[in-house]
Copies of this chain bind each other. A is one copy, B any other.
Amino acid sequence: MAAPDKGAKRRDGATRRQFLLGGAVAGVGAAAAIGVDYALNSPQPTDATASVPLNGEEVVPFYSAHQAGIDTDAQSHAAFIGLDLLATTDRDALRRMMRVLTDDAARLTAGESALADSEPELAVAPARLTVTFGFGPKFVSRAQGTAPAWLKPLPAFSIDQLKPEYGDGDLLLQIASDDALTVAHATRMLLKDTRSFATVRWTQRGFRRAYGSVAPGTTMRNLFGQVDGTANPSPGTPEFDRVVWSQDGWLAGGTSAVIRRTHMNLDKWDKLDRTGREQSVGRYMSNGAPLTGSTEHDEPDFDAKTSIGFPVIPEFSHMRRARSDNTAERIFRRGYNYDERPDDATVSNSGLVFVSFQADVDRQFVPVQQRLSDLDLLNEWTTPIGSAVFAIPPGCAEGGYIGETLLA
């Protein structure tokens, strides 16, 4: 029953009907492809209002030189799951597990049901679903492979208040889609594949703006309201390739992932006025422009002084501390907001699942984090409460499996 969405209208005054009509061209092919579920399930209006663009049909190819979910435009929802290998999971078992996981990830991301999918109807809308696998130190050691030197817990930073329930792990699943139900279903299907081999150590879920909510390519905002991720290299550029992709051995074409759960104290942040917020970050809240510029991607001028001689971009600001003239110290961020039920009713349980990809953790990530730990005004309002590092193997061709460069 197509319940009319009574009274919904766009802020510019167009009605929903006008809005839907505009999407008619895109909708025809999608409507043809949506499959048996919709065909059997819905009364099919015969006029053009049915032809909305169905983002649910969008597919990100699974088989590729690199795993998907890294250079993919960040989807609206993501689940990150860290697993511990069972003691009985040896090299052969790792290979079996990765074959099964690869096979189901390839199916699910294509909008097909998993091999033993108990709810195949939940698989019909991938909505740009990607599944990205990562390996912890124990995985590599069980695989009898050589671990990169950086594949270990990060050095302890003085700002850390790490909780073991958000740290480390042997296997990472990053499952992301523009549809939260798709993430839930894919998560469950893939975790069923791992049951004979591993147990769940931690789960973190996060969100960004919905697909279609703001213009594509808009840099995300975190729950402090900050534009977050401006300095990221752009996928498809030589800079991105240099920053992200490893050239080393079985990891060539892969990368590393650092996942840091960062609590953001929204109540304390509330007490800071707008100027204070902008000083702490070094950017305007309104559009993310550096305090010496007017648009988000203006290059900051760290030498600029105020009329009374202070730096316009304060020494303690996050942007200044995160930057380095050393071009080796670059990372690619792809984090997600979280906002969960507080255990304590008076304080919010909100923050950022910080996620960064870089070819070498020690060379690229650690120096940046060390500077931020030593002096970053944002530390007043943020606390890292979880930390994990994974090696992200390269992608594979059809017929292959993720991890084959290590396990074959």
Contact = CB atoms under 8 A, between A and B. Distances in A.
A40 B287 contact: yes
A214 B54 contact: yes
B6 A235 contact: yes
Main secondary structure of the interface of A (DSSP, over half): loop
A12 to B, nearest CB: 4
Contact of A53 (B19, B31, B68, B122): B19
Contacts of A250: none
Given A42-B217, A53-B23, A56-B212, A128 B8 contact: yes
Interface residues of A, number: 129
Contact of A188 (B111, B219, B348): B348
Interface string A12-29: 111010111111111101
Interface stretch (A95-103, A196-204, A301-309, A323-331): A196-204
Contacts of A342: 200, 203
Contacts of A111: 11
A356 to B, nearest CB: 15
A211 B214 contact: no
Contact of A60 (B8, B37, B38, B58): B8
A215 B26 contact: no
Given A22-B53, A23-B23, A203-B341, 12 more contacts: A1-B232, A8-B128, A9-B61, A12-B29, A12-B33, A38-B215, A40-B294, A43-B217, A54-B212, A56-B214, A119-B224, A127-B213
16 contacts: A8-B58, A11-B58, A11-B59, A12-B32, A13-B29, A14-B26, A20-B26, A38-B214, A40-B286, A40-B287, A40-B289, A76-B210, A119-B285, A121-B221, A192-B270, A202-B341
